[in-house]
Every structure is written in structure tokens, then in C-alpha cells.
Amino acid sequence: MTDITADPGRDRPRSASPTLHDVARHAGVSLATASRVLNGSTRKVAESYGDRVRSSAELLGYSANLSAQATAKGTSAIIALLVADIADPYFGLLASGVAHGADEAGLVVTIAITERDAEREIRLVRALRGQRPRGLILAASRRAETTDPRLKHELDALTAGGGRIVTVGPGGGDFPAVLIDNRGGARALGVALAARGYRSAIVLGALEGVRTSDDRIEGFSEGFRSGGGDISRVIRGGFDREGGTSAMDEALAGGVAPGAVVFGISDVIALGAVSAIRKAGREVGADIAVAGFDDIPTGKDVTPALTTVHVPLTQVGHEALRAVLDDSWVSGETIILEVLLRESTPQR
């Protein structure tokens, strides 16, 4: 019987990290059995052995050598996730879905932030490629133009090494994509606001060429005009709260008549617009209505609560992770969104 209180490090320097051999000896199992339990083998191990191995690994402070695993398997137990801005709740919720799915699969998520900078994105993919990730999820907002050939080179090299690439939204070339119906959701919002009696709208979006923003602007414009409304201005700027505040300041400087509705192409932009409206001494809702997109938690907490389009972001993240791990996964139907009418856009 193995004495689990014995010092497993008596045959090695105390400064050395515990090895898989140490865990196997401590648990009283073969090296192959310990490896199957801790390195994610598909071969089944008796539950009693598995419990002993995991208990010994925890007691000894053993952690798997990801580099060695990557060398042996071709890829490591890492999922790389690229987002534009982790401070944006949109990406935070999406990352949560990826992380929960990875945890269920026994994988680790590495998150990198592109800040919507093409050069930075290339550098990050190159660096992440060195980790030999099992998969790379590109969730940063894609631009409409063709992918930079340097980025394509890095992505092709990653797939050649056994990694799988999945994009969230369009613009990822030939890679599998989890698609969100941004245009359809925005169109439905435009129709709903026109039905509430709004006839003049100002749209606050990101710079031209960002696919998510462009699709939402086009969809909203189609829906609002189909209901008898008019888009008086489209103001483009940053894809963050400060961008929404700045764009709304510009709109207010040009004059905004009572009864108009402002559509921010994300809740974060819309909340920036709310701040600017209040700072100008105007009232949100009864005076100037505001709507957003994404349904981040903060939108429910502000007063008045923000009208928006619900995007199931944690579900999107989980689906992207599934697309990485399941070889049989193919791009399915676009994820359908839901309009949520709240107090920030009262009936006219």
C-alpha cells in the first residue's frame, strides 16, 4: 500500500518541480496511467485510479507541462481568444461563454486584446502561434476589406500546425464562423421604433468599414425607413463609451429636436450618448429617446432602462468554443436576436 504522506521528493532536489513520475509513484500507479488521467487521453482509466492520481497531483502541486504536451500532440491544451477590448461588456460576456466551455473540456483560455489595431493583431497571432493552441477564436470586430496577407500567413501557419481557427461574425475568410444576425436584429429594432411613433433618428456608429457597425447601421436604416421614419444623420466615431459621448455632443451641437430617437450601434455607445444628453440638460426618453444593441447588464440598471437588441453573448462564446473542438461542426444558421423595448424609447 502506498504511503501518501511520504515525501515524494526524497530522490530529487527540493527546488525541482514535481514531475509526472513523482505523481505516478505517489499514487501507486504506472506512469502511463498517470499520463492518461492528467494529459487528457481518450483511453478510459478506472475511477479509483483517476481519483488517486488527481489527489496526488494536487497534493504535490503538480501541473502539466504544456510545452511538452504540445510537442507530443502537435497542439497544447490552450484556446486562444482575440477580442477588441476586454473592458467592453460585449467581449467580456462572450469570453465568459468561451471560458465556461473550455473549462468543461479541461482546457485553458488565453485572452489577447487587439484594440482593433491590425498590426497588433498580426503580432498577437504570431505570439500565440508559439503556444500551439488547440484553437484560435477571432472575436475582435472585423473590417470589411480583405484580410491582410501577413495575418493570413500567420493563420495558415497555425492551422498547418494542427490548430483550428473560428471567427465570431463575418470577415474571417474561409474559416468557420459563428454568425450573428446583426443586420436583421437592427432592422427589427428600426421597425419597432417606427411603430412606436418615431419619425426622426440619429445613428451613432463606428468608423466606416467595421462590419458589425456597418451591418447594424444598414439594418436599422432599412427598418426605420420602412416604417415611415427618416435617418437625419449618421455620425461615426469610436466604438466605446467615449465615442458615443463625443458623437452625441456633435449631434447636440447641430441641434436635436424633441421626439427624436438616437440609435447607438452598441449599448456602450448608447450609454455614452445618454451621458452627453444629460450633461446638455436634456431628458432621456421623453425628450430624446435612446436605443442600443447587445443587451449588456448595465442597460437594465440605468434609468430609464435602455431599449436594445438582445444578443446571447455567452451562448455565442460557447458555440465558438464548440466549433473549435468539434470536427463535425459546420457553420449553421445565423443566431437570431430579440428586440427589447424599454423606457428609454416611450411610445410617441
Spans of all domains in the chain: 20-64, 74-180+315-325, 182-311
β 289-291/177-178 pair status:
unpaired
Tell me the β-bridge partners of 83: 113
User: What pLDDT, on a 0 to 100 scale, did the predictor assign at position 3?
Assistant: 43
The sign one gets for the Cα dihedral 88, 125, 121, 152 is: negative
Mean pLDDT computed over 234-261: 95
Fold of the domain built from segment(s) 182-311: Rossmann fold (3.40.50)
pLDDT at 242 exceeding the cut of 70? yes
For cell 473549435, the residue is: 324
Output 15 or 164, whichever has higher pLDDT. Answer: 164
> Most distant CA pair in the chain: distance in Å?
83
For cell 444628453, the residue is: 277
Amino acid sitting at position 111: I
Residues 6+ apart with CB under 8 A from 276: 244, 245, 246, 248, 249, 252
Asked, as a colleague might, if the bond just before 258 is cis with ω within 30 of 0, I would say no
pLDDT in tens, 97-137: 999 999 988 899 999 999 888 889 999 999 988 888 999 99
Same fold yes or no, 74-180+315-325 and 182-311: yes
pTM over 0.75: yes
Fold of the domain built from segment(s) 20-64: 434 Repressor (Amino-terminal Domain) (1.10.260)
Residues 6+ apart with CB under 8 A from 296: 89, 90, 93, 267, 268
Amino acid sitting at position 173: G
Give the three-state DSSP class for 220.
helix
Which contiguous run of DSSP H or E holds residue 283? none
Q: Are 121 and 172 in contact (CB under 8 A)?
A: no
- Closest C-alpha to 224, from 262, 273, 169: 262
Amino acid sitting at position 47: E
Give the count of beta carbons closer than 10 Å to the beta carbon of residue 18. 18
- To which CATH superfamily is domain 74-180+315-325 assigned? Response regulator (3.40.50.2300)
Q: Among the ranges 22-26, 85-89, 112-116, 217-221, which has the highest mean pLDDT value?
A: 217-221
Give the three-state DSSP class for 69.
helix
Mean pLDDT computed over 78-93: 92
Amino acid sitting at position 266: S
Q: What band does 239 get if pLDDT is binned at 50, 70 and 90?
A: confident
Rounded to whole angstroms, the Cα distance separating 289 from 271 reads 12
Give the three-state DSSP class for 109.
strand
Q: What percent of the chain has pLDDT over 70?
A: 87
Q: Are 302 and 292 in contact (CB under 8 A)?
A: no
Output 279 or 46, whichever has higher pLDDT. Answer: 279
Output 209 or 252, whichever has higher pLDDT. Answer: 252
Rg (Cα) of the chain, in Å, rounded? 25
